[in-house]
Amino acid sequence: MMENINDSRQRTISLRPYQQEALAAIADAESRRIRRQLVSLPTGTGKTVIFAHLLQQRSERALVLAHRDELIEQAASKILTVDPAARVGICKAERDEWQHPITVGSVQTISRYHRLQRIPQDRYQTIIIDECHHATADSYGRILEYFGAFSPRGPLAVGFTATPERADEQELGEIFEEIIYRRDIESMIREGYLSDLRAVQVTIAIDYASLHTRAGDYDAEELGTALQKANAPEHVAAAYLEHATGRKALVFTPTITLAHLMADAFLKHGVAAEALSGETPSDERRGILQRFKSGKTMVVANCAVLTEGYDEPSIDCIIMARPTQSRPLYIQMVGRGTRIFPGKSNCLILDLVGATSRHKLVTAASLLKVEPHRLSEAGAAEALKEQDSPKPRTPDIGPSGGRRVAREVALFGSERLSAWEPFDDGCWRMNVTRHAIVIRPDGATWTVWVSRGDEYRNLASGLSLEYAQGVGEDYARSLLKQIFADQNAGWRKKPATPAQIAMLHKFRIHTSGYLTAGEASDIISQTIEALKRRRSA
């Protein structure tokens, strides 16, 4: 029987390769005496998991800084998921739990003079800054200065962000010494760690070049007025009905008025929609987001409140009714839809573009550097593969006098495994070789199981659905690697297995004629190694 692990102390999550690389980069930079480091990873790739493991490894008193309540709660929760024995305190508003070994604190609270003075200056050996593109604000500098982070002997300070550049042109270099590890959204889509993207451009009668720019982006009020005059709400609702019916959509707008007009337009067409903004009371906001999560509400239009710190992996449509010149802002908005989720094949982006091209508007096509029509038709993973794949060739991979296999090796196609399938009682299942990987609800969290016949094992417990899916997919990858490990086994002469053929298809490798298991294994190994070399180049 496979081991059945139920002890919560055993649920520590193994890291993905890029997360291990990030931790190694942090250690390497520290050995080079780089004390203020920056790590850049796209939204949805587990930045919080990385710094939770970092804190566990260092076993030192640590401060985690975040600027929003949602980020504070997420950080504390993830630290406890990675290390259930950790003692974590919260410092925000009336809570003042800085005596715990790990303090997760609100920047707004801790930066206040009377709150800072309560904490000894030498209290922390490690400082983590979440969403650190905000770190140029005076409040962050005040905290870092107080705890000695700018001193050569001060605490290690590591910032995490999806957008190391800032739209307002303030320099993060004043805070951080070096970007020590960086991965972009394109590579994460290619490798299957983020959802594939499709995009459709919706043309409206507006000339963005005629709008004034403030702090590097369109003036919000002027943009909102122009979009209203162009009847953007009606165009957006019509585009949704044409291209995205049935998708769970998050709409971004530049003004509160436009957010409500967007929701009204959807309601007029029979689509359940709601609007929220910074003026929405907390209880009402929680209700809106809960209805959105459950699917009772299909569209939520928001003004400047769900750009950061909001994670709803089931979102599969982002509507950019807040056109922007800011690449960091665009990346943050797109990031609300890039998380993977069972049953989600891609996320559709609807970009509002003008009637002319005389503007610096950021769109999905410009972000990923692909042609708009290919992003609409094929999706990001396929379009990126077309750009970077070598031309088809017919290499000699068989023994002398043996069969040859014609194939196109898709070096940058998505490595997404087979789709998760829903089954009994809200569970999700993926079949890999003779194993079934199951994600099962357990109260408010999820548990990951793997079974083979009557044998079963608990891989992890107490996870969010998104992270449970990631654990399951990582285990599936490890199973596939084990199958192809023994180069001298007799199985190499047998026909390629269905699992091998399926994996070749996932790599978009097309075969013709008879293929042995050994030949298939070699192709898969060569492809994986090529991916690793290209990724590290």
pLDDT at 10 over 50: no
pLDDT at 306 over 90: yes
- Residue (of 333, 325, 317, 353) closest to 230 by Cα position: 353
Q: Name, of 299-308, 377-386, 469-478, the range with top average pLDDT.
A: 299-308
Q: What is the pLDDT of residues 414-439, one digit of tens each?
A: 445 556 788 777 888 888 778 888 98
What domains are defined for the chain? 8-183 (3.40.50.300), 191-386 (3.40.50.300), 421-536 (no CATH)
Distance CA 332, CA 323 (A): 13
pLDDT at 163 over 50: yes
Q: Look at 144-148, 354-358, 429-433 and tell me which has the smallest mean pLDDT.
A: 354-358
Question: How much is the CA Rg of the chain, to the nearest whole Å?
Answer: 25
44 close to 184: Cβ distance less than 8 angstroms: no
Backbone torsion region of residue 192, taken as left when φ is above 0, otherwise alpha when ψ lies between -120 and 50, otherwise beta? left
Q: What is the pLDDT of residues 86-134, one digit of tens each?
A: 999 999 999 999 999 999 999 999 999 999 999 999 999 999 999 898 8
- What's the chain's average pLDDT? 82
- Please state the separation of Cα 444 from the chain's center in Å: 21
Distance CA 84, CA 78 (A): 9
- Local confidence band at 514 (pLDDT 50, 70, 90 cut-offs): low
Q: Which residues on neighbouring strands pair with residue 433, listed in sequence order?
A: none
Q: What is the pLDDT of residues 335-351, one digit of tens each?
A: 999 999 988 889 999 99
pLDDT at 9 over 60: no
Distance CA 53, CA 267 (A): 45
